[in-house]
């Protein structure tokens, strides 16, 4: 989807045969991903630790003993 200047993305207008993420949010603020990182999203956590916005050691410690980690 190509957006013109000033145009906002609209997931309902997208033509897709795959998943449409209705709650999708476009942002330039990486801290918007903090909630998903704290909720267990590895992608968000890696992204935020790479930018020194999430403490890597704390994140790893939070995974230890988790049911989702074998």
Overall pTM > 0.85: no
2 or 57: whose pLDDT is higher?
57
**Exposure string for 32-65, b = 16+ CB within 10 A, e = fewer:** ebbeebeeeeeebbebbbeeeebeeeebeeeeee
Domains of the chain: which residue ranges? 28-70
The pLDDT of residue 52 is 95
CB 48 within 8 A of CB 30: yes
Average pLDDT, the chain: 82
Is pLDDT at 42 greater than 60 in this prediction? yes
Q: Per residue in 10-37, pLDDT tens?
A: 777 777 777 777 777 778 999 999 998 8
What 8-state DSSP symbol labels residue 43?
A: H
Q: Which two tokens stand for residue 61?
A: 């410690």
The pLDDT of residue 1 is 61
């Amino acid at each position: 989807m190509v957006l013109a200047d000033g145009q906002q993305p609209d997931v309902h207008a997208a033509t897709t045969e795959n998943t449409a993420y209705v709650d999708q949010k476009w942002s330039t603020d990486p801290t918007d991903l903090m909630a998903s990182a704290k909720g267990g999203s590895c992608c968000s956590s890696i992204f935020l630790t790479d930018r020194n916005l999430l403490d890597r050691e704390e994140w790893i410690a939070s995974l230890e003993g988790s049911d989702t980690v074998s």
